[in-house]
Amino acid sequence: MINLEGNVGVYMAKSKLITIWTVWLIAFPTITIYSYIEFKPVINGNWFDLLAFAIVVSAVAIFPIRVGKITVFFVNGISLAAFLYYGLFVELMLTQISLLALFVKIKLKKDEAHRIPTNSTNLLLTSISAAGVYYLLGGTTGILTFDTVEQVIPVIGYILTSILVNQFGLTIIQSYVNREKFSIFPKSLLIDSGTTLLGFPLGLLLYLMYVEIEAIAVFFVGIPFVLISLVFSYYHNSQRVNKYLHLTSQVGHELSKSLNVKGVLDTFINEVKHLIPATNIYVFDITSDTESMNLIRYMDENGYNLKKDYKMYKGEGFAGKVYEDNRSIMITRKKDLFNLNHNELPAHINSALGVPILRNNKIVGVLTVASDEINAYEKYHLMLLEILANFLSVAIENARHYESAKTKSQRDQLTSLYNYRYFIEYLDSYVNDLTAKGLDETISVIILDLDSFKAINDKYGHESGNEVLAELAKRLVDMFGHYGVIARYGGEEFTILVKNIPHHEVVQLAEDIRHAIASKPFVLYKPINGNYEVQEIHVTASFGVATYPDQCETPQELIRNADRSMYVGAKRDGKNKVASLSV
């Protein structure tokens, strides 16, 4: 098994890149030429055999395993067999061929190009170091029987040196390139040592069979190598997918904790950017009547979670294509984005995933993630995003149901103001919070009651009375909405909670709204034979004001004192007045 250094994931200084490529441009031809001259292989026309070795190492290399930042593939055993028979030069070329096959398979990205010189140099040094120890211990190449200790010891030395030098080289690379802390005993050492016990014995078996039956042995033993690589690769991939599925289920659990749509969207964006590689994330909400898509959440390349005003239509851009086709789409090359109409993705994007958000088998939104890397996504990423889209759909629906139920329990249906229950609970909660924090704050309550409202209902009807109440609620919100909480107390009574304003200013606020109600008539629309008769009526209201601590000893007495002020000081004194208890 060979371990290779993976993607850095961070910006690399130009000076480091120059150093890495310079070292490789010096080391590769130097070591290659030296190994050919010093250990010139005796081919004896066995070019087909060498081709067989190259085919098998390439086949093994295309089934790599990714362990953290390390890419692992089983070629040591095959390269050992080639080394024992043909010497260092052939083994060195085979490992470089396997490295090339691996990079072709994983579609090496532009920003990962540094992996070519770093891994190639490391394998060169590993090969020549292991061979050097092998020869120093008296080892020879060609036809061997391994029936003496003298022949076995060099092989053991070769194997141990290969493991240690490879691991030491990887640690140096990780320290220099990735700026990681240098470790004498890296975590990958245990993995490499354990799996090598499987690879090298098969390599010895391959060598012994090759001595007897030549090229056929390469395929006979090479096929198990490929199968082992395939099994390990698929097993590791399945484990990786299972890990991501587990993390995805945790995202669903986190979404269920959010009880409002904003919280759901914020949580979703934050979780997705840690689960799927993305420089940009888009969540579109679809209005089916107009076939339009509104961008309700967006994460930019700097990782900022934003609400961005942006509107598209069915068939426009990448998200519009997903909407139009009503299916998931994966794009891994920039050229596939060129033909999109009004593409919403930034110019630097090279890969994108888009999935429809479904509810009751109807598309209600589109989820898109995009990356500036080429071939950034695999099929399992698309599967994960589809699952996440389902979680998002359910979480948003649940949040909307909760918000609707909460609104119904807190709001008055006619006026859309808060109801009496909410007002009382809010007042108690606010007072308790002030007490807990040790704060002293002026709190006032204004209560108003429409004068002679029964007469309005009797003369114009209850529907007209409801129109008056709804219009009054609108006026209160327009005038007092920025001061505090407004609620319908019941019937034709309304309450207003005003915070941290002196009592005389609150009285003046009440006087202002009293004047606004009395001076501006209310317009009623009465249906008659399909037409509407417009009628204006004048309405007045009586007000009571109470302020803590000016007019009451505790905040809980505010409503009672304000109500008493209204009836004693305003209603009984001719109505259309503002009153408060004298201190």
Does residue 407 lie in a domain region?
no
* 460 plus 517 within the same structural domain: yes
Quote the tokens at residue 411: 């709001």
Residue at 345: amino acid letter = L
The answer on pLDDT for 485 being more than 70 is yes
d(CA 440, CA 549): 9
Nearest-angstrom CA–CA distance, 202 and 393: 52
d(CA 78, CA 89): 14
Predicted pLDDT at 576: 93
> In the predicted model, is pLDDT for residue 291 greater than 50?
yes
For residue 144, what are the CA distances in angstroms to 50, 154, 388?
A: 19, 12, 58
Residues 391 and 493 in one domain: no
Mean pLDDT of 407-416: 79
pLDDT at 515 over 70: yes
| pLDDT confidence band for 134 (50 / 70 / 90) | very high
**Cα–Cα distance measured from residue 402 to residue 396, given in angstroms and rounded to the nearest whole number:** 10
Structure confidence at residue 228 (pLDDT): 66
Confidence of residue 9 (pLDDT cuts 50, 70, 90): very low
Whole-angstrom distance, CA of residue 396 vs CA of residue 263: 9
Paired tokens of 196: 């090598």
The predicted pLDDT at position 180 comes to 57
- 408 in a structural domain: no
Do both 87 and 209 map to the same domain? yes
Residue 440: what pLDDT? 81
Domain boundary among 243, 273, 301: 243
Instruction: Give yes or no for a contact between 350 and 335, defined as CB atoms under 8 angstroms apart.
Output: no
The per-residue pLDDT for 147 is: 83
CB 494 within 8 A of CB 414: no
Q: Give yes or no: residues 169 and 57 share one domain.
A: yes
- CA neighbours within 13 Å on the CB side: how many for 196? 21
Which helix (H) or strand (E) segment holds residue 452: the answer is: none
Are 55 and 114 contained in the same domain? Answer: yes
Residue 170 belongs to domain with CATH number? 1.10.1760
Query: For residue 1, what pLDDT is reported?
Result: 44
Instruction: Report which of residues 406 and 125 the model is more confident about.
Output: 125
Structure confidence at residue 182 as a pLDDT band (50, 70, 90): low
Contact yes or no for 552/558 (Cβ under 8 A): yes
Q: Which of 438, 569, 451, 462 is nearest to 524 (CA)?
A: 462
User: Domain of 367: which CATH number?
Assistant: 3.30.450.40
More confident of the two residues 64 and 76:
76
Is 355 in contact with 322 (CB distance < 8 Å)?
A: yes
Mean pLDDT for the stretch of residues 504-523: 91
Write out the DSSP string of 207-225: HHHHHHHTHHHHHHHHHHH
Residue 436 lies in a domain: yes
Out of 147-161, 385-399, 413-427, 456-470, pick the least confident.
385-399
Q: Are residues 488 and 556 in the same domain?
A: yes
Q: Where a domain ends, among 366, 401, 436?
A: 401
Closest by alpha carbon to 105, among 169, 57, 67?
57
pLDDT for residue 524 is more than 80: yes
Q: Domain for residue 409, yes or no? A: no
pLDDT at 510: 93
Same domain, 26 and 55: yes
DSSP 411: B
Q: What is the CATH number of the domain that holds 560?
A: 3.30.70.270
Q: Look up residue 490 and give its amino acid.
A: G
pLDDT tens-digit series, residues 163-180: 888 878 877 777 776 665
Close Cβ partners of 86 (under 8 Å, ≥ 6 residues apart) = 41, 42, 43, 50, 141
Note the pLDDT tens digit of each residue in 337-377: 777 777 788 888 888 899 998 888 889 889 999 888 777 78
* CA-closest candidate to residue 465, choices 519, 392, 415, 403: 415
The residue range of the domain holding 224 is: 2-243
- Residues paired with 295 in a beta bridge: 284
Q: Mean pLDDT, to the nearest integer, of 130-147? A: 90
Lowest mean pLDDT among 10-14, 205-209, 259-263, 544-548: 10-14
Token reading at 566 = 């209204």
Mean pLDDT of all residues in 188-201? 63
Which of the two residues, 527 and 48, has the higher pLDDT score?
48
CA pair distance 403, 504, nearest whole angstrom: 38
Interval 269-287: pLDDT, tens: 877 777 888 888 888 988 8
What is the model's pLDDT at position 258? 66
How big is the chain, counted in residues? 583
**Interatomic CA distance for residues 358 and 547, integer angstroms:** 52
Query: Exposure of 155 by Cβ count < 10 A (0-12 exposed, 13-18 middle, 19+ buried)?
Result: buried
Evaluate if residue 395 carries a pLDDT over 50: yes
- Whether residue 253 is contained in a domain is answered as no
Identify whether 251 is part of a domain: no
Amino acid 7: pLDDT: 47
DSSP code for 333: S
Residue 215 located in a structural domain: yes
Within this chain, do residues 114 and 232 fall inside the same structural domain, yes or no? yes
> 428 with 563, same domain?
yes
Q: Report which residue type is found at 239.
A: Q
Q: Checking DSSP bridges between strand 292-299 and strand 65-67, what pairing results, if any? A: unpaired
For the chain, the average pLDDT equals 81
pLDDT band at 527 (very low <50, low <70, confident <90, very high): low
Amino acid 107: pLDDT: 73
pLDDT reading at 540 higher than 90? yes
- Alpha-carbon distance values, 371 to 149, 156, 333 (Å): 56, 46, 10
Residue 41 lies in a domain: yes
Amino acid present at 18? I
Which are the contacts of 298, defined by CB distance < 8 A and separation ≥ 6? 280, 281, 282, 283, 305, 306, 307, 308, 310
pLDDT above 70 (res 237): no
pLDDT of residue 208: 87
pLDDT at 66 over 80: no
Which amino acid would we find at residue 135? Y
Q: Which residue has the tokens 């080892």?
A: 139
42 and 168 belong to one structural domain: yes
Min mean pLDDT across 77-81, 95-99, 125-129 is at 77-81
Cα separation of the two ends of the chain: 90
Whether 295 and 396 map to the same domain: the answer is: yes
The pLDDT of residue 277: 81
Q: 114 with 154: CB under 8 angstroms?
A: no
Residues 21-32, mean pLDDT to the nearest whole number: 91
Flag the least confident range among 7-16, 147-156, 435-444. 7-16
Count structural domains, the chain.
Answer: 3
Of the two residues 243 and 357, the one the predictor is more confident about is 357
Between CA 580 and CA 582 the distance in angstroms is 6
Q: CB neighbours (10 Å) of residue 78?
A: 30
Give the pair of three-digit tokens for residue 267.
């949580």
Could you tell me which residues are beta bridge partners of residue 299? 281, 305
DSSP single-letter state for residue 181:
P
Note whether 553 and 425 are same-domain residues. yes
The Cα–Cα gap between 293 and 354 comes to: 14
pLDDT at 378 over 90: no
3-state SS, one letter per residue, for 340-405? CCCCCCCCCCCEEEEEEEEECCEEEEEEEEEECCCCCCCHHHHHHHHHHHHHHHHHHHHHHHHHHH
Q: What is the DSSP letter of 570?
A: I
